[in-house]
Structure 1
Amino acid sequence: MSEDIDGFRARARAWLAANVPDDLPPPDGPASRAFALAWQQRQAEGGWAGLAWPQRVGGQGLSVLEQIVWYEEYARAGAPSSLNSLFVALHHAGPTLIACGTPAQQAFHLPRILAGKSIWCQGFSEPGAGSDLAAIRTRGRIDGDVLVVDGQKIWSSFADTADWQELLVRTDPDARTAAALTWVICPMDLPGITVRPIRTMAGVNKFCEVFYDNVRVPLDNVVGGVGNGWATAMSTLAFERGTASLGILIALTLQVDAMMADCSATRPVMTARLARLSAEGAAIRAMAYRVALDAEQAVPDAGASLVRLAFAEFGKKVQAAAVDLYGVASPQVLGPHGRGHDYLDAFSETIAGGTAEIQRNIIGERVLGLPKGPR
């Protein structure tokens, strides 16, 4: 690290020490939305929002290395988890609009995202088409200057409190996959949209199913062009699988450090287990940093699936080790809301953003060059 980076780290650490909220984030609903927006607004006012976003779209224009240092200090300060209702806006929609959006779309949405004025959700998965986006059925029919959308989405995190949705629809039922889909910005207050929250086994209303009945979305909201939604969606998923999880990954490695400090010397098997987790976490962090730095000037490539797969499985191992170290009824496992959220929610990580099986297929085919599996 250069002296400039060390100075940046010191400034980040000092600002976080003075500004991290004392209150716990509410688990879900409008209160959770208000908390996330207020915290994002505080970061924006302090000059800590959009660190690696280009200056031309309102970001700070800093390097990915400085973004990594911010994530490190953010986790060490015990700041609110980045896996909140702003996650999609900051790590999916924003980067996708930077890469694929029109100047008008960027000018309207990106400053609002950074300033903590809007929440986004994702409308990709459907019943029967979870990780298989080529099989989605939600239709977008062009009618003049609008897309008329009919269908259903599921597992749309925070859709019950979102202002906008990154929505993937089928605009050409006869075309092959690459030309059949369109990525569109969908206002969540349009007539014909119904949102139903889904209560997870972790005890929160985090996911939702969304129904569309003759929903009229302006064609100006299409990102990347009609019929080019597959490529745009791949950009979205590349960001999600690559750099988006860095902050959470760093927090997990710090959790392992704390567990090692708490583990009694009289538990050699647990000590060895935590030592292996520490080594695994360090390796995944190194890989994640390399992927992030390699992709600094472009959309992350298929190698991001390596990070996504390793991070998801590592998270499950860490939370399982916490249960075995502290006990299922301990405050460390039950958490501030008494639900054992972190352990139960970890199971979703090998499903979200493309299942572990999908990630292995991508790694095998696009990274290792192995023959494609049966379709």
Structure 2
Amino acid sequence: MTRKWLSIVGIGEDGLQGLSAIAHSLIAQAEIFVGGDRHLAMLPTNDQRQKIVWTSPISASVDEIIRRRGQSICVLASGDPMCYGIGVTLTRRIPVSEMTIIPAPSTFSLACARLGWSLTEVETLSLNGRPPSLLQSYIYPGARLLILSEGKDTPAIVAQLLTNRGYGSSKIIVLERMGGSQERIVEGTAVSWSETEIAALNAIAVNCIADAGVVLPRLPGLPDSAYHHDGQLTKHEVRAITLATLAPTPGELLWDVGAGCGSISIEWMRSHARCRAIAIEQNSSRLRYIADNAAALGTPNLQIIEDKAPNALKDLAAPDAIFIGGGVTAAGLFDVCWQALRPGGRLVANVVTVEGEQTLFKWHEQVGGNLTRIAIQRAEPIGKFLGWRAMAPVTQWIAVKQ
């Protein structure tokens, strides 16, 4: 079916009167409307056409739309439906060739127009229905952030998170009901934010200003002090090399086998907002470290599995890369990982024991790849002088599945 039976019309705060002639035509031709209570209430009170209100979970409403395929359906949405909106959800299930999408200016576009910011030079994210800790990975000195808010309490949550992170001097600007007659802008700083009378419909702009000594780099190899751990931590020099070897690309999935405190999978996900990871760890106390570190460093969507490999790997989504940081000598681990890995995927393993090296050499004999010895020395005090103290050398093996 290629007939365009579904339309998605973005509406601003100025309501239906602000729509284009094309959008009005789509609304006039519709047999069924779908939207939230606020949008459906914009239609004339004497409009007798069928109306479907979004349900929770929203997937039930999407199923209902698909069941009515071929009928003339108009979805009413806020702003740009393809900017963290319902249009993104619907295009995952319905071919775009069957729909017409008419966007209104997005919240981000309106905010940039109010602030004089360049949209191409800001970081954008949504905290609507998402963990606030997602914000952690976007924070850096001088960053300009535009945040879609979940409601009236979100600005205070953002202010507290910035303050706790050491960015209390950051400027916060809350933009309410942009484009409507009740538009309002509220300004303040994170550390002194006390505004409680905030409209539910708001966006947050942040100019990030760091206190001294609190900067975390965005590149792999975060300081070891950024993590809570019990000693099972890939040290930051080795971590940087390992992430470079794993070579994350946006949208790819990593299996982090024997995840320890989760540093490899967390920094894999920090490399891009669309990178995904699954951390597999059997030690229950380390699972808490992984969860705490993921929230603190902006990757709350890290999937964590408590189990022992290779049993834990059954039925997981096929990975684009696998890192084995512990348990390489487990029987059958290599066979399960290699079979699951997508073509072109990378398998990287780090070991510090002779037995681990023997296992990696056997894997190398089977499928090839490269073996590398990583030796790091750090200068440490020896009396009143400095001397070099060697860390345990790490043997790393990488193979790419053809």
Same fold (TM over 0.5): no
TM-score by length of 1: 0.24
Q: Which has the higher contact order (CA 8 A, sep 6+)?
A: 1
Name the one with the larger strand percent.
2
Structure (1 or 2) with the larger CA radius of gyration:
2
TM-score by length of 2: 0.23
Name the one with the larger helix percent.
1
